[in-house]
Structure 1
Amino acid sequence: MGINEDLADERAARLVRDAMDHATAELPPPLDLVGPARAQGLRRRARLRAAIGGGVLAVAALGLSGAFVLPGGDQESTRSSGVIGVAPSPTDTAGPVPPVHIEPSPGESSMADLPPAERARQENFQNQAVGVLQRLLPGTVGTVQRTDLSVRMYHATKDGKTFVVIFSVRPSEPGTTQQPCVEVKGTTCKKTTLPGGIVAHAMTLPMDSATTTGAALTFRYGKSDVRLSVNPHTASNSSAPVTDDQLLELARSPAFLDLVKTADANPMEKTQRTIQGG
């Protein structure tokens, strides 16, 4: 062990001597000066030799020990690249994310039954809606995906829980009016006024059981009834992870209202007829 250390020290010293000799050999000899000028020249040459020696010693030590140290910036970059951040939204990916497949019930139709052009139109709208909802809904809702069952149905997944999201812009039935904002049977309701004097209601209401609640945003836009709802996760008895205030803030977003405007001008759902006494 001692012999190896002596050899290492000898190699390091030889590297220092060779480097200093090579670097200073090309330096002009000190001028034949006297007094402070000559002393300054000698000191400058000595500092250069010391700097070269120190650098070579460091390189030699690293070479002998096999160590490798990144500069501070590179170390930070390396650490950052290993950190798992927020999962990208579907709109951050290279292309549209495939929809969640939901098998239709017997006698129920799905988007697969639509004519190709209409199906493509509705899927394009769904992809736009996914991007907007992903940005505007709170992070507690999770990752939003479209489904292939209906243009109005989406899924939001967080921590293994899937919350059914309904985003519907349906032509209004003639003669109907917007339901009032009332608080009954455990329902809370808040309202706000959107551009154009449109009144929007946001509600938290019991669903599935007495202990779980869903959340819904409703308003009338143009010739359509608009509804955005987040249902609870029944299996885990978890309420919808969104508040009335968050839904009202979403309703005021220009991006969300642009989606509503598009669907109102080019309906993708049929008018829901109310059956008297049904």
Structure 2
Amino acid sequence: MGTTEDLYEVPDDRAALLVRDAMDRTTADLPPLPDLTGAALAQGRRRKARVRVAIGGGVLAVAAIGVAGAVSLSDVGGGRQVSGTVNVAAPPSGTGPQPPVHLEPTPGESSMADLPAAERTRQENFQNQAVGVLQALLPPTVGTVQRTDLNVRMYQGTKDGKTFVIIFSIRPSASDSNNKPCADVKGMVCKKSTLPGGIEATAVTMPVNNGNVTETELSFRYGKSNIRLAVAPHDASNTSAPVTNDQLLELAKDPAFIDLVKTADANPLEQPQQTIPGG
């Protein structure tokens, strides 16, 4: 696994670790996922309409995969110019997902471009659905949510020129490594909540880098998978992750989010987590 500090041109170790964690695996051929329509089942107040609009556009876009184009995107982190590749036909204005952000793999790394065509399409389908759900359920402070073409679990939010790395991972594992008690660490704020079905989820806001900024992370166990949703700070501007523990725990209770988790747990998109005996 190569280093990734040059992707965002920021000096902090924490952001690099997040990106490494997001890029360290690609998947082999896996059975096709069933149609992802769970987001349309989202209920409740204003977010119900937002989810349906976002996912409706995503489904239209997914149906047109294969029509390619290109768009230049300005700074998404530390002044670095990147390009986004449009893998779907443009849906009606304001209804479809944003084009993916293109990130070059470091030497020796793989990206989604290296996957077999059917598996790449399967992962892109899931990403487009995930973008719609995350855009609808994350607070507006996270900004515009986009997928990347580097790894199925790597996304980003962009707001006012600031880019926040988002990791959304549903990873098969034989052990519940997410089931950790809230640690009594200076500067760390930890909160637990019970999700539908009696699932216990933990959200943590923790200081990173030199302690001047924080990252926020949600984790829980579902079926045979460990679930993780993390939002990193924007280091160049010294801006903490613009989401709270309460907001992530509320998001985790939404039927649209749970439906994504349920589908990926049944048909994994990531390689299983390896357990080291005695580790």
Q: TM-score range by the shorter chain?
A: 0.5 to 0.7
Deviation at 1:274, TM superposition (A): 4.0
Deviation at 1:89, TM superposition (A): 6.7
1:85 maps to none
Higher strand share: 2
Task: Decide whether the 8 Å contact of 1:89 with 1:143 is kept in 2.
Answer: no
2:48 maps to none
1:183 maps to 184
Deviation at 1:276, TM superposition (A): 5.8
Task: Decide whether the 8 Å contact of 2:176 with 2:221 is kept in 1.
Answer: no
Provide the rounded CA distance (Å) in 1 between the counterparts of 2:175 and 2:249: 26
Query: Is residue 2:174 matched to residue 1:173?
Result: yes
Deviation at 1:98, TM superposition (A): 2.2
1:201 maps to 202
Q: Which runs of 5+ in 2 are unaligned?
A: 1-52, 59-90
Deviation at 1:271, TM superposition (A): 1.5
Deviation at 1:277, TM superposition (A): 7.8
Letter in 1 for 2:169: S
1:9 maps to none
Q: Which runs of 5+ in 1 are unaligned?
A: 1-87
Q: CA RMSD in A?
A: 2.1
Letter in 2 for 1:124: N
Q: State the Cα deviation string for residues 194-233 of structure 1 (Å, max 9, x = none).
A: 1111000011011222111000000000000000000000
2:24 maps to none
Structure 1 segment 20-99 matched on structure 2, within 5 A: 91=57, 93-94=91-92, 95-99=96-100
Deviation at 1:174, TM superposition (A): 4.0
Provide the rounded CA distance (Å) in 2 between the counterparts of 1:216 and 1:183: 16
Deviation at 1:180, TM superposition (A): 1.8
Structure 1 residues 126 and 215: CA distance shift in structure 2, 3 A: same
User: Which one is further off, 221-230 or 88-97?
Assistant: 88-97
User: Aligned to 1:236, what secondary structure does the other structure show?
Assistant: coil
User: Aligned to 2:100, what secondary structure does the other structure show?
Assistant: coil
User: Aligned to 1:248, what secondary structure does the other structure show?
Assistant: helix
Provide the rounded CA distance (Å) in 2 between the counterparts of 1:127 and 1:177: 26
Task: Decide whether the 8 Å contact of 2:191 with 2:204 is kept in 1.
Answer: yes
Task: Decide whether the 8 Å contact of 2:178 with 2:219 is kept in 1.
Answer: no
Structure 1 residues 231 and 177: CA distance shift in structure 2, 3 A: closer
1:59 maps to none
Query: Is residue 2:249 matched to residue 1:252?
Result: no
Structure with greater Cα Rg: 1
Residue-pair matches, total: 191
Percentage identity across paired residues of the two chains: 69
Provide the rounded CA distance (Å) in 2 between the counterparts of 1:229 and 1:176: 15
What's the TM-score once normalised by structure 1's chain length?
A: 0.65
1:148 maps to 149
1:102 maps to 103
Runs of 4+ in 1 over 2 A off after TM superposition: 88-98, 173-177, 274-278
Deviation at 1:272, TM superposition (A): 2.1
Q: State the Cα deviation string for residues 141-196 of structure 1 (Å, max 9, x = none).
A: 00000000000000100000000000000001347562222231321111110111
Structure 1 residues 176 and 147: CA distance shift in structure 2, 3 A: closer
User: Aligned to 1:255, what secondary structure does the other structure show?
Assistant: helix
Provide the rounded CA distance (Å) in 1 between the counterparts of 2:134 and 2:274: 28
Task: Decide whether the 8 Å contact of 1:171 with 1:270 is kept in 2.
Answer: yes
2:131 maps to 130
Letter in 2 for 1:205: M
Say which structure, 1 or 2, has more relative contact order (CA 8 Å, 6+ apart): 2
Provide the rounded CA distance (Å) in 2 between the counterparts of 1:264 and 1:127: 17
